């Protein structure tokens, strides 16, 4: 396993702000994958895998929310690649494997 390095406080603060902004609209934003297992650290050079679920939204609303999330995350102050996955449409096998370890945002420890 690669050595761990802290996820920068500005990155965590921005992720928390994005999650808090979208939460009233029924969006659950979370970290999964290798970063979630060690949050607020991540393996050096690892990407940030972000998942989201939307409570009761139609297809048009889901598409609009995804665009808004992508725009908000484009401003994330990091050089790490960021993957955004809609768990509402992800394959059940992927969801089960990816959800083995998650970390919900906003992070109350930030």
Tens digit of pLDDT at every position of the chain (110 positions): 789 999 999 999 999 999 999 999 999 999 999 999 999 999 998 999 999 999 877 888 888 999 999 999 998 999 999 999 999 999 999 999 998 999 999 986 65
Would you state the pLDDT for residue 109? 61
How far is CA 101 from each of CA 23, 25, 36, 52, 72, rounded to the nearest angstrom?
A: 21, 24, 6, 14, 24
In a domain, 53, yes or no: yes
Q: Assign residue 89 the CATH number of its domain.
A: 3.30.460.10
- The whole domain housing 76 covers 4-32+40-100
C-alpha to C-alpha distance for 45 and 107, rounded to whole angstroms: 22
Total structural domains in the chain? Answer: 1
In a domain, 47, yes or no: yes
In a domain, 109, yes or no: no
In a domain, 110, yes or no: no
Three-state secondary-structure class, residue 36: helix
In a domain, 49, yes or no: yes
Predicted TM-score (pTM) of the model is 0.92
């Amino acid at each position: 396993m690669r050595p761990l390095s802290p996820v920068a406080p500005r990155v965590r603060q921005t992720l928390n702000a994005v999650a808090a902004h979208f939460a009233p609209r029924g969006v659950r934003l979370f970290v999964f994958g290798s970063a979630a297992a060690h949050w607020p650290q991540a393996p050096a050079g690892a990407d940030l895998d972000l998942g989201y679920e939307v409570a009761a939204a139609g297809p048009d609303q889901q598409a609009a929310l995804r665009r808004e999330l992508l725009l908000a995350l484009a401003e994330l102050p990091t050089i790490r690649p960021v993957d955004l996955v809609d768990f509402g449409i992800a394959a059940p096998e992927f969801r089960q494997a990816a959800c083995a370890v998650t970390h919900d945002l906003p992070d109350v420890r930030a």
